[in-house]
Amino acid sequence: MDADGVARLRAAVGRLDRRLNTAASQESGLTPTQVWVLASIVRHGSVGISELAAKEGVNPTMLSRVIGKLDDAGLIRRVPDPSDKRAALIEPTAAGRRAKERINQRRTALLAERLAALTKDQDDALAAALPALEALASDRGRP
């Protein structure tokens, strides 16, 4: 893919992601950042804040503030770290897992609505590109 194609792909993926995140977060009452952090906690399970920040490549201070909001909302909880009694792990609550599932369902529905507006040729092209997009989005080979 040439440089123009790379730029177009980046822009299209970014716009689509923002549209899905904005719509899903508005309906959930969470900010897009809170939705993203909740999804990360659900994906990683019981994890320390520093470890989560390192895995996701984000600032631990910012992450700590967002975690505080999610904790206040009852979507995550802090539990003692069995290997370090001075530290805490964060994990999703049942309500947090349900919220993440509802957000996923809404994002999927929004994407289905967008896909329904495509022509058959565009839909077929996207279906054919799925393996490449999945490889692109995977963590394999990530620095």
- Tell me the average pLDDT across 43-51: 88
Side-chain half-sphere CA neighbours of 125 within 13 A: 5
∠ CA 70-74-18 to the nearest 5 degrees? 40
Dist. CA 127–CA 124, nearest whole Å = 5
- 60-77 pLDDT, tens digit per residue, is 888 899 999 999 999 999
CB 36 within 8 A of CB 29: no
pTM of structure: 0.77
Mean pLDDT over the full length of the chain: 88
pLDDT at 143 over 80: no
The structure tokens 């716009």 sit at: 15
DSSP string, the chain: --HHHHHHHHHHHHHHHHHHHHHHHHHHTS-HHHHHHHHHHHHH-SEEHHHHHHHHT--HHHHHHHHHHHHHTTSEEEEEETTEEEEEEEEE-HHHHHHHHHHHHHHHHHHHHHHHTS-HHHHHHHHHHHHHHHHHHSSTT--
